[in-house]
Amino acid sequence: MSHPESLITSRDLWDAVAAFDRPQTRTLREGDYVEKFTVPPLWTQLYEAIDKNTGDQGNSKMQSRPPVNTNAMSLLIEIATAVRYEKWDRKLKTSQETPLELRAIISDVIRGGNVPSNTDGMTTWEWWEWCIRSWNTRIRTVLGQTLTHRLYGAACRTCHASTVPAFDEQGNPAGRQPALIVHIDTDTELVTSVACDMCGTILEDHHLQGLWDQARRAKEWSTSIAERA
């Protein structure tokens, strides 16, 4: 059933889907400081980006522009629509959630075998792998180059805050979260800046080594507590 010249495997297809709808582990490296953390699925990030207008932060009441990220919204609608129509074409019965619909489609594509498709000389598996990867790339472009991560265990040099209040989606208090937000360039995986969510200070290069030392000590301490427990 498999097309002899195609190098795409069913594993490649599922890897592309996983980058779309599963959380991904990223590594923050700065000198000898290393921290692994998890980022939400690309699809979830795209969904959440709709409510975050990435334009200037002026007085929203004075702006005629709607308070939504229209690039994120139009890409989300484009992907959701393409997936919905494909599901209908294939007469698949699944939930109405785009990631689950896409998984049902890919199962069906794999069941159909890696056979020549009508499109650009690609096989069916090649075409779907290319299609999902291009969605992932376009989502990353809409989200921008920067990834943020809250750094546990370190305090701001200006206001000395190490945590700030957190709020849930309804705006109700939801405990506390780290105050320092690390901005990471998604291409180079390098830290571009560290900002304090309490006082707004952007921490300078010469403060960073002290921060990583603080964060590492906090992590070693919490690990040793966990081991003793």
Beta-carbon contacts of 211 under 8 Å, excluding residues fewer than 6 positions away, are 151, 154, 180, 194, 203
> In the set 18, 82, 199, 218, which binds Zn ion (CB under 5 A)?
199
The answer to whether residue 158 forms part of the interface with Zn ion (CB under 5 A) is yes
- What is d(CA 107, CA 57) in angstroms, rounded to the nearest whole number? 44
Query: Own/partner pairs for 219-224, CB < 8 Å, 24+ apart?
Result: 219/35, 219/152, 219/153, 221/153, 222/153
Q: Interacting stretch for Zn ion, rule CB under 5 A, among 47-55, 63-71, 130-138, 198-206?
A: 198-206
100 or 195: CB nearest Zn ion: 195
In angstroms, give the least distance from the CB of 150 to Zn ion: 13
In angstroms, give the least distance from the CB of 208 to Zn ion: 15
Phi/psi of residue 6, each to 5°? -85, 135
DSSP state of 61: G
50 or 182: CB nearest Zn ion: 182
The answer to whether residue 194 forms part of the interface with Zn ion (CB under 5 A) is no
Cα–Cα distance list, 50 to 25, 55, 135, 136 (Å) = 23, 12, 16, 16
The answer to whether residue 182 forms part of the interface with Zn ion (CB under 5 A) is no
In angstroms, give the least distance from the CB of 46 to Zn ion: 30
11 or 206: CB nearest Zn ion: 206
The answer to whether residue 198 forms part of the interface with Zn ion (CB under 5 A) is yes
> In the set 16, 196, 211, 215, which binds Zn ion (CB under 5 A)?
196
The answer to whether residue 181 forms part of the interface with Zn ion (CB under 5 A) is no
Cα–Cα distance list, 37 to 3, 27, 147, 150, 188 (Å) = 39, 6, 11, 10, 16
- Contact residues for Zn ion (CB under 5 A)? 156, 158-159, 196, 198-199, 201
